Structure 1
């Protein structure tokens, strides 16, 4: 598996926390359909794992939950990266057997499936093509398409041994619905030091570190000039970015302060994304947790 894009010194996302309206229903979906296992659970929160050690996704039940709506910022989708094409073939077979509705696209750099959880949170499950097959343009952008996915060669790799998400599954990227694209671009590139690697007109862009096709997507398709979600609205609660070391952490804290963004200490359990973390709110009112605990 080509995991070096999701290791230090890259700034990759290790964890996403979602607000849900019914924890029992969501656990059933994420374990039975998606293939997670429950690492730990309390009355109102569940930590989900693929490797039995760390949590990629956690679910927190909120009271008087309000549904997702257009016109708000938040999660467009979280994206789970599988180790091999065979794993994608196996989960496709699993979805077919359970008659799961899904979308699918060939993005040239990757092959992807798309689903929505019971609260409407978007989920992408994908496999990367080998990086030697990615096309980088002279301007430093990577070629990404949205073509019809050819399922036949994917299913041909399957060995019918699907037993939940593979242990090597990682959070491949996070795609955000933002209110203002130039403002979000400024924050993620000038403050956090990501690089733009692709643009879709004036409504979407993709950013990364280390020549990955994208660690984040940002778009305004359903959220242009959008409002910040209320606390009791289902959807994204936070996402965790792994930083390389204390020096990078200090630099980002300084950049955040210089640009008027507040930070606060965030004591998180290791399974949630590390200890001695700090957090901030991006321009869209979305909470980012920064940690140095990670690969």
Structure 2
């Protein structure tokens, strides 16, 4: 029987390893728009609603900052804002900080791309209504790379104050460099149970739960056979995969264990590493409150 993860599965918190905690806090609050929730000597939790952490920053002493697209690991994590007005406000704030901005109209969404001081990729995006998403003859979502209507985004948010990322902002998806797409498909689809929603030639694929355009992107743009990112490098610490209930969590753990993946329990949560040493924290909705 083909594995199928629950339709209500979603991405939760992202935890990043950073080389300079204060610098990263300043970037993620002033440039990206998070609020600082709490801080210790070597960690910071950032939020959008003032209650729940959405991004954790973990200081790594003497952390190596890797060149972009040089190892398996984080390509970008994607911050989903509620609407085009919020995306326009983010664009205006990024322009005010004069940082390099990439962009793409992906048909299903409009996206802005930046990098933090440690070369961690960040996407800030707004979805188009789901009834506007189109599929090709193979049943895959059509996701293009046209230019974003930047002038329209600036205009729609004109005369509105920048107040950071609004409530309702979530981590919409995560996108990884992997060393082999077939291995990635075997893990994320055959074992975890995600559905393939789009293929980008033979170099990238997108997978999701519940018909979303993608909860994960997987690519070999760092090269076939790219090595895992070193543990002491800045980059992804882990990301949360949230399933709706304990029964679904147990089913996922059973599939992982049967496939030979070691599931570790600590801090009341379960952790597993994919074939590329990308770490996943498995939790239920109730554990995130």
Shared fold (TM-score, shorter chain, > 0.5): yes
Q: Which of residues 5, 27, 33 in structure 2 aligns to 1:29?
A: 27
TM-score by length of 2: 0.94
Residue of structure 2 equivalent to 1:284: 276
* Structure 1 residues 152-194: Cα deviation after superposition (integer angstroms, max 9, x where no partner): 2222210422111101100010001111110011100011100
TM-score by length of 1: 0.92
Check the 8 A contact 1:13/1:171 in 2, yes or no: yes
The separation in 1 between residues aligned to 2:126 and 2:58, in whole angstroms, is 28
Alignment of 1:195 with 2:181, yes or no, is no
Residue of structure 1 equivalent to 2:94: 95
Residue of structure 1 equivalent to 2:47: 49
Residue of structure 2 equivalent to 1:153: 152
* Structure 1 residues 18-39: Cα deviation after superposition (integer angstroms, max 9, x where no partner): 1110001110100110011111
Residue of structure 2 equivalent to 1:266: 266
Residue of structure 2 equivalent to 1:3: none
The separation in 2 between residues aligned to 1:185 and 1:173, in whole angstroms, is 17
Worse overlay, 133-142 or 83-92: 133-142
Three-state SS of the structure 1 residue aligned to 2:262 is coil
The separation in 2 between residues aligned to 1:53 and 1:9, in whole angstroms, is 26
How many angstroms does 1:294 deviate by? 4.4
Cα distance 1:219–1:13, how it changes in 2: closer, same or farther (>3 A)?
A: same
Give the aligned CA root-mean-square deviation in angstroms.
1.4
Residue of structure 2 equivalent to 1:123: 122
Residue of structure 2 equivalent to 1:66: 64
* Structure 1 residues 183-229: Cα deviation after superposition (integer angstroms, max 9, x where no partner): 01110001110000000111100000111100000001014212122
Check the 8 A contact 1:73/1:229 in 2, yes or no: yes
Three-state SS of the structure 1 residue aligned to 2:256 is helix
Gaps of 5+ in 1: 1-7, 268-275
Three-state SS of the structure 2 residue aligned to 1:58 is strand
Check the 8 A contact 1:262/1:280 in 2, yes or no: yes
Residue of structure 2 equivalent to 1:171: 171
Check the 8 A contact 1:71/1:225 in 2, yes or no: no
How many angstroms does 1:243 deviate by? 1.0
Residue of structure 1 equivalent to 2:186: 186
The separation in 2 between residues aligned to 1:140 and 1:246, in whole angstroms, is 31
Count of matched residue pairs: 280
The separation in 1 between residues aligned to 2:220 and 2:41, in whole angstroms, is 35
Worse overlay, 72-81 or 87-96: 87-96
Residue of structure 2 equivalent to 1:83: 82
How many angstroms does 1:99 deviate by? 1.8
Three-state SS of the structure 2 residue aligned to 1:211 is coil
The separation in 2 between residues aligned to 1:294 and 1:198, in whole angstroms, is 29
Worse overlay, 62-71 or 193-202: 62-71
1:194-273 pair list within 5 angstroms: 194-267=194-267
